[in-house]
A and B are shown apart, each in its own frame.
Chain A
Amino acid sequence: MPEQPSCSCGDTSAQTGKKRNIFPCAGVANVGQLSNLAALQLTEEGFGAAACMALLATGAEGLMKSIGDADEVIVIDGCPIACGREIAGAQGITPDQHIVVTALGIAKAGSREFSDADVETVVSAAWEGVGRND
C-alpha cells in the first residue's frame, strides 16, 4: 500500500513549524481568563505548548531550559498593563509574539464572562501572527 500523507496536527516540532511556548497572563478579569483558555486551545490545535506565567515568574530552571529550546515565545496579555510581558522581561525574555486581548476589540469587564467567539478571536490572532515583533 502506498504511503499516505500525514497531518502535522499535534506535532509542534521544528520540522512541521515551530516549537513554541505560550504564556497567558491568566488574570482574574474576563480578558485574563480568556487568555488562559485561548492558550489551552492553541495547545490543542498544535500551535505550541501552554505554560504557567506564574512559574515563569519564579525563573524555574526546567522552564527556562524549555524556553531556551523553543523557537518562539508567545505572551498573551489580557489588557495593556501587560503583566505577562513584564514578567517575561524580568526573566530576560522578549516575546516573539505579544498579543493583548483588549487590542483585539474585546473589552475588559468586571465579570468573568466571555464568548466562544472571543476565544476564537484570540486564537486566530496567534495563528495569524498579529503580535509578531518583526
Chain B
Amino acid sequence: MVRIEVLGTGCAKCRRLVKNVEKAVADLGIDAEIIKVEDITAIMDRGVMLTPGLIVDGELKVSGRVADVNELKEILQG
C-alpha cells in the first residue's frame, strides 16, 4: 500500500491537492492510504516550510504548489 501524506493547514490549495490526489489514486486504481496532515508542528517535523506539501512513502515530492492529476499519476507510478 502506498502511503500518501498531504500537508497543509486546510487552505484552498491544500484542499485542491487532496482532491487531485484522490482523483489520481482512483484513476490509477492503486491501493493507497491518503493522510491529511494539518497540524503545523507535524508539518514542520516533516521538513516542509511551504504548503501544500506531498509526501509519498516518506519522500517529499511537492512543496508549495498544487500538482495536477497527470503529474500526480507520474509521481505515484514512480
Judging by beta carbons under 8 Å apart, are B12 and A45 in contact? yes
Main secondary structure on A side of the interface with B:
loop
Work out how many contacts link A and B, with CB atoms closer than 8 A: 66
Determine whether A2 belongs to the interface, using a CB cutoff of 8 Å to chain B. Answer: yes
State the CA gap A123–B64 with chains docked (Å). 19
Determine whether A27 belongs to the interface, using a CB cutoff of 8 Å to chain B. Answer: no
Q: Which of A1-23 contact B (CB under 8 A)?
A: 2-9, 15-18
Total interface residues on A, CB under 8 Å, equals 23
State the CA gap A132–B72 with chains docked (Å). 14
Contact A9-B49, Cβ < 8 Å, known A15-B64, A127-B66, A129-B69: no
Judging by beta carbons under 8 Å apart, are A128 and B13 in contact? no
Judging by beta carbons under 8 Å apart, are A5 and B70 in contact? no
Judging by beta carbons under 8 Å apart, are A6 and B51 in contact? yes
- Can you list 12 A-B pairs with a CB-CB distance of less than 8 A? A4-B44, A7-B13, A7-B14, A7-B52, A8-B50, A8-B65, A46-B12, A47-B66, A124-B19, A127-B68, A130-B69, A132-B68
